[in-house]
Structure 1
Amino acid sequence: MDPQALPTDPHRLHEDLMAMLLGTLFVALGVNFYTQATLLTGSTAGMALLLQYATGWRFGIWFFLINLPFYYLAIKRMGWSFTLRTFTAIGLVSLFTELTAGWIVIDSLQALYAALMGGSLIGIGMLVLFRHRTSLGGINILALYLQDRHGWRAGYVQLGIDGLIMLVALMVLPLDRVGLSVLGAVALNLIIALNHKPGRYMGVS
C-alpha cells in the first residue's frame, strides 16, 4: 500500500510544544558535552562552536546569528509555519545551551564518550524536531528541502557538509579532537539517516 494513501493523525499543539522542548534540551545537552571536551559537531551548530573556540564569544550568540540568513530559504521553500517553528527552536537551543552550563557541572568527561554521546544526543534531538516539522536552521533547512524536493536523505546531505566543516576545523583544533568530532558527526547523522526516511513516519503538524 502506498504510504501516502494512509490516513494521518496530525500532531496536537501540546505534542508539538513538548517535542520542541525535549528536542532542544537534548541538543543543548549534547552541545555542552562537546564544549566541555572541546569537540565540534556539524551544520550551523558546528560553525558556532568553531567560532566560539576561535573568538571566545559564546555559542548561543554565534548560533543565533549564523542562522539569520537561512530564514529566507525557510520561508520561500518550507512556509511560514516551518520557519516560525525553526526560529523558536534555534532561540531555545541558544538559551538552553547557556542555561545547561549552569544546571550541570561536569568535573571529568572522557573525550570519546563525549563525542559519541554528544553526537547521539544532538541527533536524537534533531530527529524529534524533524518529525514535528521543525529544524535547527541553516544546513538543516537545506537538507530537509533537498529531501522533500529531490528525495535525497537529509542525513547523508548533512554528513557531506559536515565533512567540509571538519576540514576547516583542522586550522583551529588539534587533530585528535577533530578525529573524535568526526566520530560524533557520524553517530549524529546515522541516527537521522536510519530513522528519518520518507514514508516511514507519517505524523504531521
Structure 2
Amino acid sequence: MADPVQSKSPVGIWASSAEKHSLIEDVQAVVAGSMLAALGVTMLSAAHLLIGGTAGLGFLLRYSMGVSFGTAFFILNLPFYWLAYKRLGLAFTVKTFAAVGTTSLLTGLLPQLIVIDRIDPIAAAMFGGLLIGCGMLILFRHRASLGGFGILALYLQDRFGWRAGFVQLGLDCVVLALSFFVASPLVIVSSILAAVTLNLTLAINHRTDRYIVR
C-alpha cells in the first residue's frame, strides 16, 4: 500500500507531497498567516504599542506623523522584494508580496470589525506578539514572510544557518530603540516584551533542520 504522506492528488493545485506544498496549501497559509498577524497588530495598536521590523517602523510613522499603518507597512517593504527575488526566488517573493498586501489591507479593516475599548499593555504585548509570531511561523513554513527584516532574517538563516528568530530580534532592538523618542516607559517595556514574545516563538518553533517542506 502506498504511503499516504507521499501520495499526490491528481488535481494540480491540490497536489502536495512530503517535500512540497500544493498551491491551495500555500494560498491558505498566506491568508491564515496574514489574518493572525493583522489581529496581533490590531491588539498592539489598541494599546499604542510598537514592534520591531518594518511593522515597528510603520507604527513609528503612525504615532509620529499620523500615517496609516497599512500604507506605511506596504511601502516600507517595497525595497526588500529585490533581495527576496535575487536570493530566495520568485515564488517566495510572490507569496511574500501577497502576505504583506493582505496584512496591510486587514490592518485597515479590522479596527472597523473588532473594537477594543481597553486592553492592558502587558496582555496586548504577549497575545499580540504571539499572534504575529504564529502568523509569521505559518508563512515561514510555506516559504513566505511578512517582508522587510523577515526576508533578511530568512536569507541569513538559509545562507549562514543563523536562527531567523534571533536575527530578527537583534534588528528589532534597533527599531525599538527609536521608540524612546515617541513612547512612555511603560509602552517601551511592553513593546520590548511583544518583540521578545514574537521572536522567541519563531526561534523555538522554526528550524530548517526540523521542517524541510517547501
Length-normalised TM-score, structure 2: 0.91
Paired with 1:199 and 1:167, the residues of 2 have a C-alpha distance of: 33
Secondary structure, in 3 states, of the residue corresponding to 2:181?
A: coil
The number of residue pairs the alignment matches comes to: 199
Question: What SS does the aligned partner of 2:50 have?
Answer: coil
Q: How does 1:54-65 map to 2 (within 5 A)?
A: 54-65=64-75
User: 1:165: which partner in 2?
Assistant: 175
Superposed counterparts of 1:65-144, under 5 Å: 65-144=75-154
Task: Give the aligned residue type for 1:43.
Answer: G
Q: Which amino acid aligns with 2:54?
A: T
Shift of 1:202: 2.2
2:7 aligns with none
Helix, strand or coil for the counterpart of 1:170? helix
Partners in 1 of 2:19 and 2:169 — Cα distance? 31
Specify the alignment match of 1:198 in structure 2.
208
Query: For 2:71 and 2:208, how far apart are their aligned partners in 1?
Result: 33
The gaps in structure 2 that reach 5 residues or longer are 1-16
Structure 2 counterpart of 1:41, which letter?
Answer: I
Rounded to whole Å, the distance in 2 between the matches of 1:170 and 1:69 is 26
The alignment-based identity, stated in percent, is: 51
Corresponding letter in the other structure for 2:35: L
Cα distance, 1:56 vs structure 2: 0.5
1:37 counterpart residue number = 47
Instruction: Tell me, in whole angstroms, the C-alpha distance in 2 between the residues paired with 1:71 and 1:12.
Output: 23
Partner of 1:3: none
Q: Which runs of 4+ in 1 moved over 3 A?
A: none
**Once superposed, what is the RMSD of the aligned Cα atoms?**
1.2
Taking the aligned partners of 2:130 and 2:150, their CA distance within structure 1 comes to 16
Taking the aligned partners of 1:159 and 1:108, their CA distance within structure 2 comes to: 28
Measure how far apart 1:110 and its partner are: 1.1
The code of the aligned residue for 1:24 comes to S
- Name the aligned partner's letter for residue 15 of structure 1: E
Structure 1 residue 49 corresponds to structure 2 residue 59: yes
**For the residues of structure 1 that align with 2:105 and 2:48, how far apart are their CA atoms?**
20
Q: Which has more radius of gyration?
A: 2
Verify: 1:147 aligned to 2:153, yes or no. no
Separation in 2, partners of 1:41, 1:165: 8
Q: What does the per-residue CA deviation read over 1:118-173, in whole Å, with 9 as the maximum and x for residues that have no partner?
A: 00000000000000000111100000000000000000000001111111110011
Which string of whole-angstrom CA distances, capped at 9 and with x for unpartnered residues, describes residues 70-108 of structure 1? 111111101111111111110000001111111111121
The answer to whether 1:11 aligns with 2:21 is yes
* Relative contact order, higher structure (CA 8 A, sep 6+): 1
For residues 144 and 25 of structure 2, what CA distance do their matches in structure 1 show? Answer: 13
5+ residue gaps, structure 1, are 1-6
Between stretches 60-69 and 99-108, larger displacement belongs to 99-108
